[in-house]
Amino acid sequence: MTRRRAILSGSTFEEQIGYARAVVDGDRVHVSGTTGFDYATMTISDDVVEQAEQCLRNVGAALAEAGCGFADVVRVRYLLPDRGDFEPCWPVLRRCFGQVRPAATMMVCGLADPRMKIEIEVEARRADPAG
């Protein structure tokens, strides 16, 4: 199948770097690494849990625009500069993924901006690829 369409969030990073928030490719949806920035205001909380919540709102919006939701997620990757910040986020992550149980990986790594404390990337499969 060929690439169907790009989904943009309005983040200034997408334009500056040259990527899309998500790409719909047939029945697959690839959501780029998504941070806790509120893209409407380009602000970010200092709190990792609040960042995780905003990450998931951003991811959820991209999934919805692609015609699917968290129930369709098959893979999730968590990237954090500080491994100690991961466990406080578990309740937030469990709300979205606890019943879905996608394959998951957590990696400790540097992120593009020192204000970023978590980045989440997901892959989903749409039930109706024509939708």
Over 80: is that where the pLDDT of 1 sits?
no
Over 80: is that where the pLDDT of 116 sits?
yes
Question: What number is the average pLDDT over the span 4-20?
Answer: 87
DSSP result, 34-55: EES-BTTTTB--S-HHHHHHHH
For residue 29, list its beta bridge partners. Answer: 24, 124
Query: Domains in the chain, please, with CATH?
Result: 5-125 (3.30.1330.40)
Question: What number is the average pLDDT over the span 85-111?
Answer: 98
**Tokens encoding 20:** 């899309």
pLDDT in tens, 29-78: 999 999 999 988 989 999 999 999 999 999 999 999 999 999 999 999 99
Contact 17, 86 (CB under 8 A): no
pLDDT of residue 11: 81
Q: How far apart are CA 19 and CA 8, in angstroms?
A: 9
Q: Give this prediction's pTM.
A: 0.92
* pLDDT tier at 126, thresholds 50, 70, 90: very high
Instruction: Compute CA distances 35 → 3, 44, 116, 130, whole Å.
Output: 24, 9, 7, 29
- Written as one letter, the residue type at 97 is F
pLDDT of residue 3: 58
Over 80: is that where the pLDDT of 128 sits?
no
* pLDDT tier at 2, thresholds 50, 70, 90: low
